[in-house]
Amino acid sequence: MISQQLNDRITRIGPGTPAGAVLRRYWQPAALKDEMDQGLPLPVNLMGERLALVAGEDGPRLVTRRAAPDEPPAHFPDTVVTDPDGPTYPVTLRARVVFAYMGPGDPPDFPSFDCFRAPDSHVFAFKGLWECNWLQALEIGIDPAHASFLHRFLEDEDPDEGYGKQFRDRAAQTNMPMTQVLRDYPRPEIRVDETEFGLKITALRHMEGALTHVRVTNQIFPEAICIPMSREMTITQWHVPIDDETCYWYTIFTSFDRPVDKALMREQRLKEHRLPDYAPLKNRSNDYHFDPDEQARLTYTGMGLDINVHDQWAVEGMGRIQDRTQEHLGRSDVAIIRYRRMLRRAITALEEGEDAALPMLGGAGLDRLVGPLSNDAITDSEDWQKASWQADMARRGACPWDASV
């Protein structure tokens, strides 16, 4: 558990806050290209500020928006009135996501991560609204153990029919559905290593026959994760504050194999979300469509097959801002503990004027940061590190675009 003062220090992100100052040193997803293509100006609520994406002579700009005092944070008004006296922020388009830089000085470069290197044919972007603080949204993504419980499927679908859905794949070597691997081996050994970009999180599920399932995921500082969706696709997901009590997840799906079926993936996700605000159709107001019959025979939550709904229920159920003064972290929370230490170090470094001490913001150019390795593999328990690396290299070697590391 931590004090209320520390909880406020690491969760609140408005202008002038310690955590907000850290997040503003990095590019933040502000909108999808799909939204911008519907026409400008586009209202954008980001980092506790009401903004608008507008057309400029040199391309889009993010400017301050005048808003009614009672306007909900995620509301999309019919009209947009900009404030000429407010700040203007630079934006850039990467992988079908509009990124904004809201910090001082020149913005940092982008790292050469797979999601930014892949051609447009091999990426798809989407987002969703969650009614909770950004930090608890991030922390569920760096907890490797939660998938075995929160996303537990009591029956296994045919993986060949699960395109565009996470955990709908077969584990290499055993041909076991991933849903079965997570269900049968629910308590992984978790190892966390600090990297130049954040954290590398390795979950080892020791199986029968001296085999180990190795799942490598990553925390990309300050509020992104990179995780395997299947053997051929990864997810890079940002948990972006709208304000202190709501956030968007922005996801870039990156394919190492065939081009992404954007129409199918968009259709799948629009069945669960409404436009224009990308709010989930299953939410607190309708009990996330909880079905006790389904819970008894099909899923742990009884809330359908979309794992985003499971995560949404879990993080929103903690309250708008999780009360960490009452929590008790355990062995499986090692990545959450390490991340909070990293965030606190970054806040302190910034307060002491040591901007270069923040992850990715010091040293050589960011273009040398590639990958990151993020995959599933099953191997002999004695040689799991080499096998995980080889599985990633084989995937990259067969990739039609340059995914070399």
List, for residues 129-143, the tens digit of each pLDDT value.
999 999 999 999 999
Q: Which of 359, 371, 366 is nearest to 109 (CA)?
A: 366
The mean pLDDT of the chain is 91
Specify if 7 maps to a domain. Answer: no
Query: Do you know the residue count of the chain?
Result: 405
What is residue 73's predicted lDDT score, i.e. its pLDDT?
Answer: 65
Burial of residue 220 (CB within 10 Å: 0-12, 13-18, 19+) is: buried
| Pair 36, 145 in one domain | no
Specify if 20 maps to a domain. Answer: no
Domain enclosing residue 68, as ranges = 27-107
**198, 163 Cβ separation under 8 angstroms:** no
Cβ neighbours, 10 Å, residue 384: 19
CA pair distance 370, 113, nearest whole angstrom: 5
Boundary of a domain, candidates 87, 107, 127: 107
Boundary of a domain, candidates 46, 72, 107: 107
Specify if 12 maps to a domain. Answer: no
List, for residues 311-355, the tens digit of each pLDDT value.
999 999 999 999 999 999 999 999 999 999 999 999 999 999 999
| Pair 173, 261 in one domain | yes
What is residue 56's predicted lDDT score, i.e. its pLDDT?
Answer: 84
What is residue 78's predicted lDDT score, i.e. its pLDDT?
Answer: 64
pLDDT band at 380 (very low <50, low <70, confident <90, very high): confident
Boundary of a domain, candidates 90, 107, 124: 107
Burial of residue 174 (CB within 10 Å: 0-12, 13-18, 19+) is: middle
List, for residues 148-204, the tens digit of each pLDDT value.
899 998 887 666 665 555 555 556 556 678 888 888 888 999 999 999 999 999 999
Q: Which of 131, 74, 112 is nearest to 284 (CA)?
A: 131
What is residue 163's predicted lDDT score, i.e. its pLDDT?
Answer: 56
List, for residues 46-92, the tens digit of each pLDDT value.
999 999 999 988 889 999 998 866 666 666 666 677 777 788 999 99
| Pair 158, 265 in one domain | yes
pLDDT band at 365 (very low <50, low <70, confident <90, very high): confident
| Pair 85, 117 in one domain | no
Q: Structure pTM?
A: 0.92
| Pair 34, 75 in one domain | yes
Specify if 345 maps to a domain. Answer: yes
| Pair 139, 65 in one domain | no
| Pair 187, 309 in one domain | yes
Specify if 370 maps to a domain. Answer: yes
| Pair 273, 259 in one domain | yes
| Pair 125, 273 in one domain | yes
Specify if 21 maps to a domain. Answer: no
Tokens of 334: 């090692």
Name residue 153's amino acid: F
Q: Are strands 170-171 and 370-371 parallel, antiparallel or unpaired?
A: unpaired
| Pair 340, 209 in one domain | yes
CA pair distance 119, 402, nearest whole angstrom: 9
| Pair 321, 358 in one domain | yes
What is residue 379's predicted lDDT score, i.e. its pLDDT?
Answer: 85
Specify if 13 maps to a domain. Answer: no
How many structural domains is the chain composed of? 2
In order, the DSSP letters of 81-125 are EE-TTS-EE-EEEETTEEEE--SSSSPPPPPEEHHHHS-GGGEEE
CATH number of the structural domain spanning residue 96: 2.102.10.10
**228, 374 Cβ separation under 8 angstroms:** yes
| Pair 101, 117 in one domain | no
Q: Which residues make Cβ contacts (< 8 Å) with residue 237, sequence separation at least 6?
A: 141, 224, 225, 226, 227, 249, 250, 251, 252
Specify if 403 maps to a domain. Answer: no
